[in-house]
């Protein structure tokens, strides 16, 4: 079965104050779901997006009692709640990343006890064996490549363990679970400054800063040769819906990512083309850089859903750049009014 839940069912989106969670709230509302409960630990004023029609709750989902409140009466639960960010965050704050396991542990138990019909867990490509990602010319990582396990320290291991929870709750207790291994999701309404932003947003911001300040230069983390695929937010939320409502993928981790591989240098070039500039490049070899190469093998998702993420990187980057440019200008205006000077990492 593929498709959204009935419009009178309550769906709960955990981590709704974040980038992907907020987009998923809007996606389901636009598809006709009128009972959406959005949950996040952050105060409402700090949510990335907030839909007035949704029931918005501020709860700490690392606590059992808050998880029980969150899932009460729900037919479906989508767990996108996590303390995370780009490579600059997950390499420096591994304890915080590992503590995310409390969220899934308590939330999936509460969902099962409440009689929830379907439960989704947002996993990550960080679960994959790092020994298979030592070459920028990496082939696509298949779902089986998570084992033998050698995930990224901290964040990757937490995600892999939480996947196992989802598999066992289906095997032992009959809870229909779904797991998507997300590959570098980007787009408008995501983090673009402050240390949690991922490469596309960080590079867009740096190019905008260089253009505004007329520096003619950009600092790139690493040597620019590392490769990644980046998944546009619209493809991500559509893919989550499809995966959750495909009974053939119950308790089966599946890649949700683009196959369009690009180097970090290539990513910078694409953003330069959007901005109409050419910048001198400086490479910070002391900065976090992650694995040498990572790409998504989409054989399984194409076979099971006859679908895969398809938004070209150039298209998604153009929309992302335009949105970040507006945020940057608004932020500069506010700082000028307050008489403050922005600090950059």
- In this prediction the pTM is 0.93
Q: Give every CB contact of residue 295 below 8 A, 6+ residues apart in sequence.
A: 138, 139, 140, 141, 183, 227, 228, 229, 257, 259, 261
Q: What CATH number labels 199-228+261-296+312-332?
A: 3.90.25.10
Lowest-confidence range among 20-29, 192-201, 243-252, 260-269? 192-201
Among 157, 182, 167, 40, which Cα is nearest to 98's? 157
Give the pLDDT of residue 345: 44
The predicted structure's pLDDT at residue 69: 98
pLDDT at 98 over 80: yes
Distance of CA 28 to the CA centre of its chain: 17
Annotated catalytic residue within 155, 186, 232, 321: 155
* Model confidence at 344: pLDDT above 70: no
pLDDT at 75 over 60: yes
Given a cut of 80, whether residue 6 has pLDDT beyond it is no
* pLDDT confidence band for 340 (50 / 70 / 90): low
Which tops the pLDDT comparison, 1 or 34? 34
Sign of CA dihedral 277, 282, 286, 291: positive
Give the Cα separation of 253 and 159 in Å (integer). 11
pLDDT value for 93 = 86
Which of 94-98, 179-183, 225-229 is least confident? 94-98
Domain extents in the chain: 11-186+231-256, 199-228+261-296+312-332
Q: DSSP string covering 10-63, please?
A: -EEEETTTSHHHHHHHHHHHHTT---EEEEESS-GGG-S---TTSEEEE--TTS
What are the φ and ψ backbone dihedral angles of 77, each rounded to 5 degrees? Answer: -130, 130
Half-sphere exposure of 334 (CA within 13 A, CB side): 7
What is the model's pLDDT at position 3? Answer: 63
* 111-131: average pLDDT: 97
Give dist(CA 227, CA 220) in Å, integer: 13
d(CA 21, CA 150): 28
> According to CATH, what is the number of the domain 11-186+231-256?
3.40.50.720
155 is catalytic: yes
- Residue 1: pLDDT band with limits 50, 70, 90: very low
pLDDT in tens, 135-175: 999 899 999 999 999 998 989 999 999 999 999 999 999 99
**Three-state SS for 281?**
strand
Cα distance between residue 103 and residue 125, in whole Å: 19
Quote the CA–CA distance of 298 and 259 in Å, as a whole number: 7
Reported as a single tens digit per residue, the pLDDT across 263-293 is: 999 999 999 999 999 999 999 999 988 899 9
Residue 255 backbone phi and psi in degrees, to 5: -65, 135
Q: What is the mean pLDDT of residues 182-206?
A: 95
For 120, the enclosing helix (H) or strand (E) is strand 118-124
- Statement: residue 208 has pLDDT above 80: yes
Helix (H, G, I), strand (E, B) or coil at 163: helix
Q: Does 13 score more than 90 pLDDT?
A: yes
- The share of the chain scoring above pLDDT 90, in percent, equals 86
Contact at 8 Å (CB) between 235 and 311?
Answer: yes
Q: What is the pLDDT of residue 97?
A: 87
Beta strand pairing status for 55-58 and 217-221? unpaired
Taking Cα atoms as reference points, which of 344, 309, 325 lies closest to residue 271? 325
């Amino acid at each position: 079965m593929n498709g959204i839940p009935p419009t009178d069912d309550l769906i709960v989106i955990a981590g709704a104050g974040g980038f992907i969670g907020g987009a998923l709230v809007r996606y389901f509302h636009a598809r006709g779901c009128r009972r959406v409960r959005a949950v996040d630990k952050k105060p409402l004023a700090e949510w990335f997006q907030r839909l007035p029609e949704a029931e918005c709750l501020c709860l700490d989902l690392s606590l059992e009692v808050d998880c029980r409140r969150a899932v009460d009466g729900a037919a479906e639960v989508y767990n996108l709640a996590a303390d995370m960010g780009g490579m600059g965050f997950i390499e420096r704050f591994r304890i915080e990343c590992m503590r995310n396991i409390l969220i899934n542990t308590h939330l999936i138990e509460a969902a099962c006890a409440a009689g929830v019909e379907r439960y989704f867990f947002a996993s990550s490509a960080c679960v994959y064996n790092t020994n298979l990602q030592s070459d920028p010319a990496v082939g696509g990582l298949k779902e089986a490549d998570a084992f033998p396990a050698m995930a990224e320290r901290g964040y990757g291991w937490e995600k892999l363990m939480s996947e196992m929870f989802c598999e066992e709750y289906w095997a032992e207790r009959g809870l229909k679970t779904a797991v998507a291994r997300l590959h570098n999701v980007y787009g408008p309404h995501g983090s673009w400054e402050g240390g949690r932003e991922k490469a596309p947003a960080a590079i867009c911001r740096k190019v905008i800063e260089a253009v505004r300040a007329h520096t003619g230069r950009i600092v790139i983390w690493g040597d620019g040769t590392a490769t990644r695929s980046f998944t546009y937010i619209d493809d991500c939320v559509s893919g989550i819906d499809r995966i959750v409502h495909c009974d053939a993928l119950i308790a089966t981790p599946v890649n949700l990512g683009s196959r369009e591989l690009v180097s970090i240098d290539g990513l910078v070039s694409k953003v330069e083309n959007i901005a109409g500039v050419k910048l001198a490049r400086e490479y910070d070899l002391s900065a976090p850089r992650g694995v040498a190469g990572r790409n998504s093998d989409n054989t399984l998702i194409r076979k099971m859903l006859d679908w895969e993420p398809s938004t070209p990187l150039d298209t998604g980057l153009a929309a992302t750049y335009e949105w970040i440019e507006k945020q940057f200008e608004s932020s500069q205006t506010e700082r000028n009014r307050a008489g403050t000077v922005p600090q950059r990492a």
